[in-house]
Amino acid sequence: MGRNVKIKSMKYEDFNDNEYIEKLVEELRKNGTNVIVGCLDDVIEWGRSNSLWPLTFATSCCGIEFMAVGAARYDFARFGFEVTRASPRQADFIMVAGTITYKMAPVLKRLYDQMADPKYVVATGGCAVSGGPFKKSYHVVQGVDKILPVDVYIPGCPPRPEAMLYGLMQLQRKVKAQRFFGGVNKSISEKEYERLMSEDAADADDEGAGLA
């Protein structure tokens, strides 16, 4: 098990949610694959997963811990996260580190739209996951998944650097269980995401009507 999702620095069984990755891998192998394309894929995913570059994006406290992850003691360059990019056009994923407010939400969406595919979103900290301590505020988005498709959630307030590294390794595993050619397990497109979101909203409305 786990040919595609081996992470050099951490044992497979030490990860918490292996069923999820196994499901992805199963999907990946379902219909077999062309030898040449498959080999090319392996090489590409190996390279891609080991050189994911984050966008320099931080709104509050989590950003400082994110800096700590980049600095001397924790040093995420060891795992291939190497440098943060100030331009979204050069970044592979966006660490949403901190609270997203109503005024910031359109800006964040624009940054995400400016990134080149394939792109990923990591929701870091309680605020980005669900609104966190500011759940009751009039100006806070209740989780960044309301506006962007999220790949990995890292809870904590703020998450410890170790937790961030763990979350980033989960992202690497996810990238490894993808196929660059052929589109299996690729991040869903924006259109599809919006369709799913509207379906969710409709479901919630139905439930609400049922209860009433």
Among residues 4 and 56, whose Cβ is nearest to other proteins? 56
Taking contact as CB under 8 A, which single stretch among the options 17-25, 40-48, 106-114, 176-184 is the one that binds other proteins?
106-114
CA atoms within 13 A on the CB side of 87: 3
The residues, ordered by sequence, that sit 6+ positions from 132 with a Cβ below 8 Å of its Cβ are 99, 125, 126, 157
> What number of chain residues touch other proteins (CB under 8 A)?
40
Measured in whole angstroms, the distance separating CA 83 from the mean position of its chain's CA atoms is 17
Cβ distance 85 to 114 under 8 Å? no
β strands within the chain, DSSP E? 54-55, 93-97, 120-124, 152-154
Cβ distance 45 to 178 under 8 Å? yes
Per DSSP, the chain holds a count of helices (H) and strands (E) of 7, 4
Q: Does 150 bind other proteins (CB under 8 A)?
A: no
Cβ distance 119 to 94 under 8 Å? yes
Q: Does 103 bind other proteins (CB under 8 A)?
A: yes
- Least distance CB 32 / other proteins (angstroms): 42
Among residues 61 and 184, whose Cβ is nearest to other proteins? 61
Q: Does 115 bind other proteins (CB under 8 A)?
A: no
- Least distance CB 130 / other proteins (angstroms): 14
> Which residues from 10-49 bind other proteins, rule CB under 8 A?
none
> Which residues from 155-174 bind other proteins, rule CB under 8 A?
157-158, 160
Give the pair of three-digit tokens for residue 106: 């359109």
Give the CA radius of gyration of the chain.
18
Interface residue with other proteins among 1, 72, 209, 211 (CB under 8 A) is 72
Nearest to 85 by CA among 128, 55, 51: 55
Interface residue with other proteins among 146, 201, 203, 207 (CB under 8 A) is 146
Among residues 102 and 181, whose Cβ is nearest to other proteins? 102
Residues lying near other proteins in the complex (CB under 8 A): 56-61, 63-65, 67-68, 71-73, 86, 98-99, 101-107, 109-111, 133-134, 136-141, 146-147, 157-158, 160
